[in-house]
Every structure is written in C-alpha cells, then in structure tokens.
Chains A and B, each alone.
Chain A
Amino acid sequence: KAGVTQTPRYLIKTRGQQVTLSCSPISGHRSVSWYQQTPGQGLQFLFEYFSETQRNKGNFPGRFSGRQFSNSRSEMNVSTLELGDSALYLCASSLTSSTFYEQYFGPGTRLTVT
C-alpha cells in the first residue's frame, strides 16, 4: 500500500507570496490533517478534513486555508507569506478520524520564506 505523499518536498518563497501544498492520503483513508512543525513551537495542528469538509481547525490566522477533494486528496494554501511561516508542513491521513485512529504521516514539505 502506498504511503502518504506530499508535494513539493521543498519550497522557497519570498514574503508576500502565496503557496499551495498538496497531500495524497493512503488509499481508503478519508481523514487528512495538516500540521506545522517548527523548532520553537513543535507540532501544531492546522486543520483536519473529512469528506471534503473541514472538521477541526487549529489556532492559525485566516491566511492558512485548506480543502479536500472527493478523492480525499487535500491541499493547503498559505497566502501573504511571512518569515515566521518557514516550517516543515506535515500531512497525515487516518481511516476516518484522527481523534480515534492512528495517523500516517507524509514526509513533509519544507517551506522556507525569505
């Protein structure tokens, strides 16, 4: 079974730009969650999607948004990038809910904002 894939793996953007990250979950998994990982803040929950609906949202500004498609693939968008958005963005999939089931993580997208 193929694992969670994320594209791109690395990205360099400048302040003010926007970026879209993509995540393909494990086949059959319907829940996709996104996390931001930084040395200072650790792993912080961004949002979770299930059946194309946002189920939960973390404490991030509105510049961070996401969506999920009918095939469970998900995208995350960050608009008006700031230096502090530099981080590893991790996507995770689980069977139906990250609350009840273990999550399988992708390799992450390393975003650098200059």
Chain B
Amino acid sequence: AQKVTQAQTEISVVEKEDVTLDCVYETRDTTYYLFWYKQPPSGELVFLIRRNSFDEQNEISGRYSWNFQKSTSSFNFTITASQVVDSAVYFCALSEATKTSYDKVIFGPGTSLSVIP
C-alpha cells in the first residue's frame, strides 16, 4: 500500500538559513510519481515539482532543490537562504501508476515551516 511520511511536523528557521524537508514514501510499484506542494497561509495549494520513479536526477529551481533517492525511498526538499515568504505547509505526495489502472494520489501529513525574520 502507498504511504507517505513527513516526520517533521513543524520547523522554525531564521531567515537566510537553509532548511531541508524530509519525505519518505512506501510503494510496491516500480512506476510511480512524487510531488511536492506548498500551502501558504492563504490556503491554496501550489504545485512545486513532479518526479517520476525512473528519473533520479536531482533538480534545482532557484532557491529550491530536490533530492530523490530510490535506495532510501526518499524525496527531500531543500530551501536555500530561506525567506519569510517561504512560510507555509509543505506536502509531499505519491501516486502509483500501472498499465491498466490509475491510483489516487496520497498526501503526506505536511510539514509546517516558519521562517522568522
């Protein structure tokens, strides 16, 4: 069965510090997709990144970077030089895909990040 664990419930950092949000997943499928979403205080979830299970390349987008390691079933998210606008709840999500069926997306419990000025 699918499962997504985000062990860090809440994190506080001072502005300009780097912070890593952990995501560990469980799946029996070889084909799956991983996602990160951000939910700012306004409430609307915003898509950040999608990664399929065959692409283990790390990705960098500005101050954001993602480290995908199949060996440890982890898909961690790092924010470099954090800013107050990064304060939000961050969700990691997993979906499994087979040739004949679609499966629902499972979200982790989220990590609440507070960036203190």
Contact A108 B102 (CB under 8 A): no
Residue of B nearest to A4 (CB): B44
Tell me if A's interface is mostly helix, strand, loop or mixed.
strand
Contact A102 B47 (CB under 8 A): yes
What is the CB-to-nearest-CB distance from A42 to chain B, in angstroms, rounded to a whole number? 5
Cα of A90 to Cα of B105 in the assembled complex, Å: 14
What is the CB-to-nearest-CB distance from B102 to chain A, in angstroms, rounded to a whole number? 4
Interface residues of A in 72-114 (CB under 8 A from B): 88, 90, 92, 97-108
Contact A98 B95 (CB under 8 A): yes
Contact B107 A42 (CB under 8 A): yes
Contact B105 A99 (CB under 8 A): yes
Q: How many residues on the A side are at the interface (Cβ–Cβ under 8 A)?
A: 24
Interface residues of B in 91-117 (CB under 8 A from A): 91, 95-97, 102-110
24 contacts between A and B (CB under 8 A): A33-B104, A33-B105, A35-B107, A42-B107, A42-B108, A45-B105, A45-B106, A45-B107, A48-B104, A55-B102, A58-B104, A90-B45, A99-B33, A99-B95, A99-B96, A99-B97, A99-B102, A100-B97, A101-B50, A102-B35, A105-B37, A105-B45, A107-B44, A108-B43
Query: B interface vs A, CB < 8 Å?
Result: 33, 35, 37, 42-47, 50, 91, 95-97, 102-110
Query: A interface vs B, CB < 8 Å?
Result: 33, 35, 42-43, 45, 48, 55-56, 58, 88, 90, 92, 97-108
Interface pairs A-B: 4 shortest CB-CB? A105-B45, A43-B107, A102-B47, A99-B95
